[in-house]
Amino acid sequence: MILNDGSLWQTLVLNELEIPSVIVPQRGTVSASAVELSLILSGADIYLAGIDLSVSGIRTHARPYGFDYLFYGAANRVRPLYSQYFSRAWDTTGGGSLDVYAAWFRDRLKSWPKRIFSLDKKNTVFAPAPAEVKGGLREKFLTEETLTGNSACYPERALAVLFRALDTPDLAGTLSKELGALLFPGDPCPGVEEIKRELANCAKCPEDKNREQRFF
């Protein structure tokens, strides 16, 4: 199962490839996506660990943190690791992003089921976990899903459905905005042909140098 943020291009591709997915919109933080996915997958209580929405010293995230390797790789004698952590913690605190996330969660908790708890007693957003822990996943998400078709053809099929959509007037506008922002972040309005060409380049395999020619 794959996360689908609800965008047109992801929905088109996943439907074309018949890949099971669950819609979880982008929220600006993966913590929000994790909680929303848990609400979909689980019918029981949800317990959060490592989501305190605060900075601890110079630590902004629970360990292990996916971006730690970037700090390790960039560390040197004039910009040591701890200096990088300090700068990030300072920017995070000063930028107010954690306060924004906390406010968003507080607002959502008003409408979410009352089954989300924090294992961190210092958490000021989520209710503390009760002494008795309850579990249980919804069984329908525990069944094994077998993908149909030849996965080697997925890139070509994905390109084909996107190209057809880009040639469809009712879809082209929305799709161009979504894909243009991903493929050309510095260009506010790339053309359809530019988007097609870049998509083809992204999907090229080393052994298939002529893929782009087959779509134009």
Q: What average pLDDT score do residues 117-134 get?
A: 82
Same domain for 109 and 158 = no
Q: What average pLDDT score do residues 170-180 get?
A: 94
Whether 134 shows a pLDDT value over 80: the answer reads: no
Whether 42 shows a pLDDT value over 90: the answer reads: no
Q: What average pLDDT score do residues 177-192 get?
A: 89
> Do 29 and 159 meet the contact criterion of CB atoms below 8 Å apart?
no
Same domain for 188 and 136 = no
Q: What average pLDDT score do residues 125-146 get?
A: 64
Same domain for 38 and 13 = yes
- CA 149 to chain centroid, in Å, comes to 26
Q: Cα separation of 209 and 216, whole Å?
A: 14
In a domain, 83, yes or no: no
What is the rounded end-to-end Cα distance, in angstroms, of the chain? 32
pLDDT given for residue 105 in this prediction: 95
Confidence of residue 50 (pLDDT cuts 50, 70, 90): confident
pLDDT tens-digit series, residues 17-27 = 999 899 999 88
> Do 142 and 152 meet the contact criterion of CB atoms below 8 Å apart?
no
Same domain for 155 and 49 = no
**The domain containing residue 13 runs over which residues?**
2-53+99-141
Same domain for 173 and 111 = no
> Percentage of residues in the chain with pLDDT exceeding 70?
86
Residue 128, SS3 per DSSP: strand
The region, left, alpha or beta by phi > 0 then psi within -120 to 50, assigned to residue 139 is: alpha
Whether 216 shows a pLDDT value over 60: the answer reads: no
Domain's final residue, options 91, 110, 141: 141
> Do 154 and 17 meet the contact criterion of CB atoms below 8 Å apart?
yes
Same domain for 103 and 48 = yes
Same domain for 106 and 48 = yes
Confidence of residue 138 (pLDDT cuts 50, 70, 90): very low
Pairing status of strand 127-128 against strand 116-118: parallel
Full 3-state SS string of 60-121: CCCCCCCCHHHHHHHCCCCCCHHHHHHHHHHHHHHHCHHHHHHHHHHHHHCCCCCCEEECCC
Same domain for 164 and 205 = yes
**Mean pLDDT taken over the chain:** 85
Q: Domain count of the chain? A: 2
